Amino acid sequence: MTKVKFQSFWEKFGTLCILICMFIAFSIASPEFFPQPTNLLQCLLQSTVYIFLAFGEFFAILLGGIDLSVGSVACFSGIIVAEMALKGINPVICVLVGLVGAAVLGVVNGWLINVLDLHPFVVTLGTNTIFRGVCLVITGGNPVFNLPPWVKSLSTYVWVIPKPVIYAAVFGLILIFFTVRTVPGRNLFALGGNKQSAWYSGINTKRYTLLAHTLSSLLAGMGGIIMLARIGAAEPTAGDGYETYAIAACIIGGASLFGGKGKIVGVILGGITIGTINNGLNIMNVSSFWQKIVMGLLIIGSVALEKFVSNQAKK
């Protein structure tokens, strides 16, 4: 009974416990810099890109799959917005076209998975390279800079709150409503829990696979636009390797690689945890090489911990 209670507690508050532990550890390691309000706000700002990519990755993982192309999709979306901005096109149209372009790449992923009947890992591994190649072709391998001021203004502050934090909060609320209160959201969970049962229940599995990957790329595209606004230029290598951060945020946030499990709130906390770790390690002047090692260990540790907790509860 105690083990079952612990599993229930860990499913609800495990990610928050990890985040609190990270905060305490970095505050002790760097008390003069890390716990300062300005730096904590910077942590949230840095986390927004990870959160949006994790939002997208969440829907792929929810179906028991994965999307390895979110980093390239984010890069593509940012490049589209930057190229259009240079031509003096209306900012709203630039952003909408960037998001639609990202969603189209998601449709391509979902369509290939359905038609070829291959695991999403294989398909998105291939499309990740293709999409990155498209980014390099569009830019000629060079960054797109000298952008109009409105691009940078997308990441400025409203009072003391960075705009990207507001975007993440708004999208988070929308996605919570979508996953909890709507039929398509609940169907995605059902499909991830048991594909065959979902099919027998009348759920169009191919249609919802397409929906999941479209959402995945659309949300990654939003992350790419925020990345563009923060950097002030579109780099053809932007977002390279960010799928690792997105996957880590989802797993730390309580999503199961086996599908059918997870919450948007957990994904948000997972994204903030990734941002906090990167921020804390940067303050401590830890090499980016070591940061990659830490991130890999976190992914393995999170999955192992989830499996351990589940096994203990079963016993």
pTM of the model: 0.94
Over the stretch 181-208, which tens digit does the pLDDT of each residue have? Answer: 999 999 999 999 888 888 888 899 999 9
pLDDT digits (tens, 9 = 90+) for 130-142: 999 999 999 999 9
As a whole number, mean pLDDT of residues 170-175 equals 97
pLDDT of residue 307 exceeding 80, the answer is no
Q: What domains does the chain contain, in order, with CATH numbers?
A: 2-26+40-314 (1.10.3470)
Identify the three-state secondary structure at position 161: strand
- Burial (0-12, 13-18, 19+ Cβ within 10 Å), 298: buried
Cβ-based neighbour number of residue 173 at 10 Å: 11
CA nearest neighbour of 120 among 196, 213, 38: 213
Q: What is the DSSP secondary structure assignment for residue 144, as one 8-state letter?
A: B
Tokens 């696979």 found at: 209
**Helical ranges in the chain per DSSP H:** 2-29, 37-62, 70-86, 91-116, 120-139, 149-153, 163-181, 183-193, 195-200, 205-231, 242-252, 264-283, 288-314
Which pair of tokens denotes residue 50?
Answer: 């990870």
For residues 28, 34, 36 and 41, what is the CA-based torsion angle, rounded to 10 degrees?
-140
Residue 127 binned pLDDT confidence (cut-offs 50, 70, 90): very high
Q: How confident is the model at residue 305 (pLDDT cuts 50, 70, 90)?
A: confident
Question: What's the pLDDT at 223?
Answer: 97
- Residue 314 clears pLDDT 70, i.e. is over it: no
Q: Is the pLDDT of residue 315 over 70?
A: no
pLDDT value, residue 3: 62
Span 157-178, mean pLDDT? 96
Give the confidence band of 93 by pLDDT, cuts at 50, 70, 90: very high
Report pLDDT for 158: 93
